[in-house]
Amino acid sequence: MPDHFAPGSASHPPAVDRSPEADGWRPLPAVLNGHATHHGTRPALSFVDHGRDPEGTWQTLTFAEVDLRARALAAALEAGFPRGGRVAVLCPQSVEYAVAVLACLYAGMIAVPLFPPEDPRRTERLAAVLADADPVCLLSVGPQQALCQSLGGGRVPVWAVEETEPRLARDWSGHRAGPAEPAYLQYTSGSTGRPNGAVITHGNLVASTRQVVDGCGLSDGTPIASWLPLFHDMGLNIGVLAPMLAGAHVALMSPLAFIQRPRRWLRLLGVHRAHFSGGPNFAYDLCVQRIPDAAGLDLSSVRVLTNGAEPVRVDTLRRFTEAFAAAGLAPDAVKPSYGLAEATVLVACNRVGQSWTELALDGDALAAGAISILPDRDRAARVTTVAGCGRPVGQDVRVADPETGVERPPGSVGELWVRGPNVAAGYWQQPGPTAALFDRVLTTADGGEHGWLRTGDLGFLHDGEVFVLGRIKDAIIVHGANHAASDIEDTVRRAVPEAVPTAVAAFAVPGGDGEGDRLVVVVELVAGPQSAEDIGLRRRVRAAVAERHGVRPYDVLAVRRGSLPRTTSGKLRRGDCRDRYLADGRSPDGSTDSKESK
């Protein structure tokens, strides 16, 4: 067991649940072992390698083979390290990555899903997470061992997953984890400061994975496909945990293979006859931009394509659905959803057969924190159209005042709070942030309710459905009115087609005394920052934002392509943009020629 963690702030590990209620408890390894016993010859895990062949080479393991490899590596870990030690997984996207994570669960180790040390730009982030997790071992593959050894300074053992002898499987202890035992640390992709590792217990893992299975209609007969990185919460659940729990066959490909040729993902959905897959906004936008027609694609098997962006853009949903209708894509297949690492992965989603909900809101009322649905979208008012993320799955969601923790009345915007068996136990070795976010008290008309997670997301509930407006920290307050950064960014994208898709950042900087925030907009242009004056960037952005949101940007900057900072999951780091802007007074990337003259 770990020697540094307890939920909340204690310094001792949580006790394993040995109560009678836990007698029927089946951790994920026990479920997977059962699949191997009862239908071991069925395919379980495939990886389509586009590195060797642009068309893709398949590697497939059966349930018996996955179980055998996981037990063998688990036995090796048990022989080398005390139970509860952290084990960092640094494999590239592959079947080895999945086996490594599963082996940690089998052995009672705490997996730390990370990415391989291939990109120098991520080395600092990777080193910070490793320093925080303090792993006893690094798991990788043979070709990457040297890089991992260098990263660990030669002090941490590095093991190649594929070199583990299968015969070791017979030495596995048969460890059966209790619900309260930590299963893995899911590090959030925050921008600065100390990394936050959400402690996902075995109870959280099973509860959340069952929520995904139930919410997305999965079974052992529903194939799954994914390109999402396995170190990300959504990628890990779709690509490993949910398929292994449901007994479904999952086919993986690498994120790079998708980025290089988005058609590969859609082709995989057809070849694999996939029922379930997903991605963020940019993935659907990229498909529309880079795939000129749907010829040769077959998406008729797809029932759930989850979109877990914050927030989901309605235009993205519409464009993708329309673009690939000719390939047999069902009009209700693309489904907005909501989740976060601190809730393991999923909070709410649209069920199979249900189309997403769109609401046209009065933008002025929304800026004041109220929900006013417009019956006529053509009326002369600023309109904000939002997509619903479906109903909560196996948990409760409320809207609270972020300052007081008092539940907000219906029709009000506030912070989304979540309570359920999927909510993580806290942050690894961080009692302060754990106390601030986890096990909070929600004040209701009936008194105080314990066990709530503060999500940091603004939103509201309508007819039982969750609507997400954006992060509280990204809210821009000008002249007393609240504006979501994502809404302003969407307006700029529409007004400036010369911008790089998904590469617009809006953020607030302090104004003068009594002035409140000042709005700054940064745009990556396809033709480069030198083209900003030629296309009248400043004038167009200011006019569009003023018309739709009633506020004029204080500053509009053009920057070179690829310069906006992002998280490992591809989301913009607006906080980093703001910090860099304030630090140099020019642009987020520090260039001196990217600012359009006023």
Return the pLDDT at 587.
Answer: 47
Residue 287 in any domain: the answer is yes
Indicate the residue among 305, 333, 349 that finishes a domain.
349
Residue 512 in this model has a pLDDT that exceeds 90? no
Measured at the alpha carbon of residue 382, what is the angle toward residues 376 and 384, in degrees to the nearest 5? 80
Same domain (yes/no): 239, 97: yes
On whether the CB atoms of residues 349 and 335 are closer than 8 A, the answer is: yes
- Please report, to the nearest 10 degrees, the dihedral formed by the alpha carbons of residues 17, 22, 24, 30 taken in order: -20
Indicate the residue among 324, 349, 374 that finishes a domain.
349
Return the pLDDT at 132.
Answer: 95
Give pLDDT tens digits for 1-32: 333 333 333 333 333 333 333 457 899 999 99
Residue 136 in this model has a pLDDT that exceeds 70? yes
Contacts of 329 (CB under 8 A, 6+ apart): 299, 300, 302, 321
Residue 593 in this model has a pLDDT that exceeds 50? no
Taken in order 105, 107, 112, 114, the sign of the CA dihedral is negative
Place 590 in a pLDDT band, splitting at 50, 70 and 90: very low
Instruction: Give dist(CA 111, CA 40) in Å, integer.
Output: 25
Place 375 in a pLDDT band, splitting at 50, 70 and 90: confident
Instruction: Give dist(CA 580, CA 586) in Å, integer.
Output: 8
Return the pLDDT at 380.
Answer: 52
Return the pLDDT at 20.
Answer: 33
Residue given tokens 């080479």 in the structure block: 57
Q: Residue range 559-577: average pLDDT?
A: 82
Place 415 in a pLDDT band, splitting at 50, 70 and 90: very high
Provide the mean pLDDT of the chain: 89
Q: Residue range 178-204: average pLDDT?
A: 88
Q: Residue range 400-413: average pLDDT?
A: 94
Residue 385 in any domain: the answer is no
Can you list the alpha helix ranges (DSSP code H) found in 228-305?
A: 233-236, 242-246, 255-260, 263-271, 281-290
**Residue 187 is encoded by which pair of tokens?**
């590090």
Least confident of 53-57, 393-397, 557-561, 593-597: 593-597
On whether the CB atoms of residues 231 and 568 are closer than 8 A, the answer is: yes
Residue 540 in this model has a pLDDT that exceeds 50? yes
Return the pLDDT at 100.
Answer: 98
Q: Which residue has the higher pLDDT, 379 or 334?
A: 334
Give the closest residue to 108 by CA, choosing from 167, 30, 40. Answer: 30
Residues in the chain: 598
Place 594 in a pLDDT band, splitting at 50, 70 and 90: very low
Q: Name the amino acid, one letter, at 362.
A: D
CATH code of the domain containing 342: 3.40.50.12780
Residue 378 in this model has a pLDDT that exceeds 70? no
Same domain (yes/no): 73, 219: yes
Return the pLDDT at 191.
Answer: 46
Q: Count CB atoms within 10 A of the CB of residue 483.
A: 25
Q: Residue range 97-105: average pLDDT?
A: 98
Return the pLDDT at 502.
Answer: 79
**Residue 298 is encoded by which pair of tokens?**
């077959």
Sheet with 334-338, side-by-side order of all strands: 57-62, 43-49, 250-252, 224-226, 276-279, 304-307, 334-338, 348-349, 391-392
Same domain (yes/no): 344, 492: no
Q: Residue range 36-47: average pLDDT?
A: 97
Residue given tokens 């990370």 in the structure block: 114
Q: Count CB atoms within 10 A of the CB of residue 528.
A: 14
Q: What is the pTM of this model?
A: 0.88
Residue 364 CA: distances (Å) to CA of 174, 315, 376? 60, 21, 15
**Residue 94 is encoded by which pair of tokens?**
């592959």
CATH code of the domain containing 556: 3.30.300.30
**Residue 127 is encoded by which pair of tokens?**
């080193």
Residue 124 in any domain: the answer is yes
Taken in order 246, 249, 254, 257, the sign of the CA dihedral is negative
Least confident of 43-52, 155-164, 363-372: 363-372
Residue 264 in any domain: the answer is yes
Place 588 in a pLDDT band, splitting at 50, 70 and 90: low
Range of the domain at 154: 24-349
Top-confidence range, 300-314, 326-340, 490-504: 326-340
Residue 368 in any domain: the answer is no
**Residue 462 is encoded by which pair of tokens?**
């309508």
Q: Count CB atoms within 10 A of the CB of residue 562.
A: 10
Residue 298 in any domain: the answer is yes
Q: For the residues of 25-51, what is the DSSP string, one character each?
A: ---HHHHHHHHHHHHTTSEEEEEEETT
Return the pLDDT at 583.
Answer: 85
**Residue 172 is encoded by which pair of tokens?**
């596995």
Burial (Cβ within 10 Å: 0-12, 13-18, ≥19) of residue 16: middle
Give the closest residue to 90 by CA, choosing from 119, 59, 57, 61. Answer: 119
Give the closest residue to 101 by CA, choosing from 122, 119, 86, 121. Answer: 86
Q: Residue range 252-276: average pLDDT?
A: 97
Residue 33: alpha-carbon gap to chain centroid: 28
Q: Are strands 396-400 and 414-419 parallel, antiparallel or unpaired?
A: antiparallel
Q: Residue range 581-591: average pLDDT?
A: 62
Residue given tokens 């086919």 in the structure block: 251
Residue given tokens 């479906």 in the structure block: 390
Residue 371 in any domain: the answer is no
Least confident of 112-116, 315-319, 379-383: 379-383
Q: Which residue has the higher pLDDT, 332 or 124?
A: 332
% of the chain beyond a pLDDT of 70: 90
Tell me the chain's radius of gyration from C-alpha atoms.
24
Least confident of 15-19, 253-257, 469-473: 15-19
How many structural domains is the chain composed of?
2
Least confident of 297-311, 430-444, 456-470, 476-490: 476-490
Residue 197 in any domain: the answer is yes
- Please report, to the nearest 10 degrees, the dihedral formed by the alpha carbons of residues 386, 287, 559, 575 taken in order: 50
Place 585 in a pLDDT band, splitting at 50, 70 and 90: low
Residue 390 in this model has a pLDDT that exceeds 50? yes
Indicate the residue among 349, 378, 399 that finishes a domain.
349
Q: How far apart are the first and last CA of the chain?
A: 60
Same domain (yes/no): 329, 192: yes
**Residue 234 is encoded by which pair of tokens?**
């959504």
Give pLDDT tens digits for 285-331: 999 999 999 999 999 999 999 998 767 889 999 999 999 999 999 99
Give pLDDT tens digits for 50-91: 998 999 999 999 999 999 999 999 999 999 999 999 999 999
